[in-house]
Amino acid sequence: MNRVAVIDYGMGNLHSVSKALESLGSDVQVEITSDASRILSADRIVFPGVGAIRDCMAEILRLGIDVIVRDAVDARKPVLAICVGMQALMQSSDENGYVPCLGLLPGSVQRFGGSGTLLDGQGNRLKVPHMGWNNVHQTRTHPLWQGIEDNSRFYFVHSYFVNPADQSQLAGETDYGHRFAAALSRDSLFAVQFHPEKSQHCGLQLLRNFLAWNGQC
């Protein structure tokens, strides 16, 4: 059995990522839980997130998820953070004013276009949220990119993006008005801004790679 714990802190749709993982093999056992011992005894951990960061962080702290994620990374257990899950790993987010985050990865979270308008290279206005399928350039090789062509399209939906302080942790980047971090990696932690569970073949391949990953890179 390949046991995957999907961390449940009451924010949003965990059905999609669970079903996507379950579709990848009869030996995959997915558990949606907030229980520390269940999470830490799993073979690998998915740290999802949707919605506003202030509400997410409040629940993460209330349920002690911050400690669990830190312990999992210290134990070199494979962890995949998705969307707001990725943003929550940074030091802080500009969303909802200013929200301190977990600080497992150095850097901040900022709004597309700041308080003004986001423009593309030709001066055209870009819509926010960044919603839809965009290319992800793989800035380094990584076991989670295996079998996925460089610049493949993944599904994004977000208004805030991660600005990493340590460029050596960059694993993938996407252009929307400017380049931003689509994927970061550190030890057994891999974080993506896009939704692999909604990104059809490429997304499923990334999840398949995650299920096979030993946490080293």
Partner 1 sequence: MALAKRIIPCLDCDKGRVVKGVKFLDIRDAGDPVEIARRYSEAGADEITFLDITASHEGRETTVKTVEAIASQVFIPLTVGGGIRTLEDIRTMLNAGADKVSINTAAVTNPEFVRQAAEKFGSQCIVVAVDAKKVSAEGEPDRWEIFTHGGRKPTGLDAIEWARRMVSYGAGEILLTSMDRDGTKIGFDLALNRAISDAVDVPVIASGGVGNLQHLVDGVVQGGADAVLAASIFHFGEYSIPEAKQFMADRGITMRL
Residue 199 CB, nearest approach to partner 1 (Å): 7
134 beta partners: 154
CA pair distance 97, 7, nearest whole angstrom: 26
Q: Which residues contact 116 (CB under 8 A, 6 or more apart)?
A: none
Residue 163 CB, nearest approach to partner 1 (Å): 19
Retrieve residue 124's tokens. Answer: 């055209």
140 near partner 1, rule: CB under 8 A: no
19 near partner 1, rule: CB under 8 A: yes
Tell me, by CB under 8 A, how many residues bind partner 1. 39
| Cis ω for the linkage preceding 129 (within 30 of 0) | yes
Name the residue nearer to partner 1 (CB basis): 188 or 199: 199
Instruction: Please select the residue that binds partner 1; options are 58, 67, 204, 217, rule is CB under 8 A.
Output: 204
The active-site residue, picked from 158, 173, 197, 202, is 197
The active-site residue, picked from 101, 173, 195, 202, is 195
CA-closest candidate to residue 206, choices 80, 63, 86: 80
132 near partner 1, rule: CB under 8 A: yes
199 near partner 1, rule: CB under 8 A: yes
* 22 labelled catalytic: no
**What angle (nearest 5°) sits at the alpha carbon of residue 169, between those of residues 73 and 23?**
60
For every residue of 75-111, DSSP letters joined together read TT--EEEETHHHHHTSSEE-TTS-EE---SSSEEEEE
172 near partner 1, rule: CB under 8 A: no
Retrieve residue 115's tokens. Answer: 């308080």
Instruction: Please select the residue that binds partner 1; options are 175, 178, 212, 217, rule is CB under 8 A.
Output: 175
Retrieve residue 27's tokens. Answer: 């030996």
* 101 labelled catalytic: no
Choose the binding region for partner 1 from 98-106, 129-137, 141-149, 183-191 (rule: CB under 8 A). Answer: 129-137
* 83 labelled catalytic: yes
Give the burial class of 50: count Cβ atoms within 10 A of its Cβ; 0-12 exposed, 13-18 middle, 19 or more buried: middle
16 near partner 1, rule: CB under 8 A: yes
Name the residue nearer to partner 1 (CB basis): 110 or 159: 159
Stretch (H or E) spanning 28: strand 28-33
> Catalytic amino acids?
83, 195, 197
Q: Which residues bind partner 1 (CB under 8 A)?
A: 12-13, 15-16, 19-20, 23, 50-52, 117, 120, 126-135, 137, 151, 153, 155-159, 175-176, 195, 197-200, 203-204
